Amino acid sequence: MSATVNPPLAVKLPAWRARALFGLLLGWFIALAGRAFYLQGLNNDFLQQEGESRYSRVIELHPTRGRILDRNNEPLAISTPVESVAASPADVEIAPEQLKRLARLLESDAAELGRKLADDKREFVYLKRQLPPEEAARVVALGIPGVFLQREYRRYYPAGEVTAHLIGFTDVDGRGQEALELAFEERLAGRLGSRRVIKDRLGQIVEDVESIRAPQDGQTLRLSIDAKIQYLAYRELKAAVAAHRARAGGIVVIDAATGEVLAMANVPSYNSNNRGRLDPRRTRNRAVTDLFEPGSTLKPFTVAAALQAGTVSAESVIQTAPGQFAIGKRVIRDAHPLGALTVSQVIQKSSNIGAAKMALGLRPETLWGLFNRVGFGVPPRSGFPGEVSGKLRGHASWRPIEQATMSYGHGISVSLLQLARAYLIFATDGELRPATLVRRDAPAAAAQVITPETAQAVRRMLEMAAQPGGTAPRAQVTGYRVAGKTGTAHKLEGRHYAPDKYVSSFVGFAPVSRPRLVVAVMIDEPRAGQYYGGAVAAPVFSQVMAGGLRLLAVAPDAPLDNVVLPPPDAPEVKEEV
């Protein structure tokens, strides 16, 4: 019986097909061998990077932001370590129940949190910033792979609202947003560092591999501010604004010898430690960024210009009767008829007519020149962000009525810092130093603005204004001679002055024998009945000056019974412009 052959097995394949298949397999083998040689021998960086990406991470090292201290090294801004919850989405392994628990701990939406964790194209994502330690510990206890803690620093302000307008605040990334935190950002911020680490599947660091760049901590900033005087100034200002139901208020205290700002406060304020809901209207430093017409506090500069020019002396007599003075179609008035006054009495009684007549006796460029030299119309260059230059129009365009009204502080706008600094020429022998918020090791060079004789003459007039018979007896301080000037100005609304809205102010210094402090107070729109600067702003000056001189251990220059207030039934020496 012959064997039967299966037909498919009987088919004879062409020899070239076997050779082709062998060649194809050999080619693939050579290609794979070549690729392996290329990756492992010639270019192994790729495999190295791919391998390291599974366990190696480069993390940022945050520097500690520089501290802000007062002149006596009291902390005004410090950074405290906090923990932020972060994740590496590619490494996250999380069950639905864990996601819900994590969302509850972080007080966030579970769906939104899930979207963040599902974005595996990102190597790093914050889930919540700056948690208290106990909350961060509860997150770690969940044991979710790929979710870990990142050390950061949160800014803390020990004085809170007392220094808020001065210091400002930082954002969640530690960058300065307002005030001195913004102005000195580069100095305070420092520089980020970085290091390479090995992390396990839970996102926890198990080994430091290398330090790539060490962080550089920010520098300490030491201010000219005295924290005790700052608190005193804020407390008295806040009480006055509340008592007079005022819209706002500001105060500046300057060291007369150096030009250093020892205190600067505004009301209303805000808590810089609670930055969740900040009203932008509360965050600006009104003492530096807002303008107002200074009113009668400008009269001493008009008198100084006239004394310098030789057109008057302290005993020159100026007729202010009958209490009205017509210039063209406009009429200047005093709050009450005063009759014939010496130049000293013009300051003591705050006569608008007396100041206007002295101003009109000067060339416009003479009056403008003194205003400009004391810093009106130019920024004070204190280093504070947003400081304004004020408004002082060029003298070439002045009309006689404008020159007259400018003599008593209408038609010119200044900041409270500008006004306080300008009074340095009367507290010294006519010298003006730059104002600064940073402590100086030595006083800055001073510019001689007026002669010592002129400065001393105006100083004597300002002392009369703070005594019985003047506009500010409530500015007196027990044991010290004080000098200063009140201001009561109608507020400008649009192109007209509001008949029932005022800015009440007082600027002065003490002790007169050797001035140490200059204090400027401004109360915006007092609405409790009183509005004269002598009744509203002068008492704030008195309290702050008394406390400030005691804190600085300044020796008294008057007997302890020197304060003499007018009798309750005595007519008030009024002023109004």
CA distance to 122, 203, 371, 410, 545, per residue, from 143 (Å) = 21, 10, 69, 70, 60
Cβ-based neighbours of 160, under 8 Å, separated by 6 or more: 271, 272, 273
Alpha-carbon gap, residue 70 to 91, rounded angstroms: 47
Strand order in the sheet with 496-510: 261-267, 248-255, 517-524, 496-510, 483-493
Length of the chain as a residue count: 577
Nearest to 382 by CA among 422, 436, 419: 436
Burial of 394 (0-12, 13-18, 19+ CB in 10 A): exposed
CA-to-CA dists, residue 416 to 264, 458, 534, angstroms: 10, 20, 17
Is residue 75 within 8 A of residue 69, CB to CB? The reply is yes
Q: Which of 88, 296, 407, 542 is catalytic?
A: 296
**To which H or E segment does residue 183 belong?**
helix 179-183
DSSP secondary structure letter of residue 42: I
Of 414, 170, 374, 393, nearest to 288 by C-alpha is 414
d(CA 575, CA 577): 7
CA 61 to CA 214: how far, in whole Å? 8
Q: Where are the alpha helices (DSSP H) in 38-132?
A: 45-52, 96-106, 110-118
Whole-angstrom Cα distance, residue 320 to residue 332?
10
Which secondary-structure segment (H or E) carries 154? strand 147-156
296 is catalytic: yes
CB burial string 283-295: b at 16+ within 10 A, e below: bebbbbbbbbbbb
Residues 6+ apart with CB under 8 A from 8: none
Cβ–Cβ under 8 Å, residues 412 and 295? no
Which contiguous run of DSSP H or E holds residue 18?
helix 15-37
What is the DSSP secondary structure assignment for residue 566, as one 8-state letter?
Answer: P
The catalytic residues are: 296
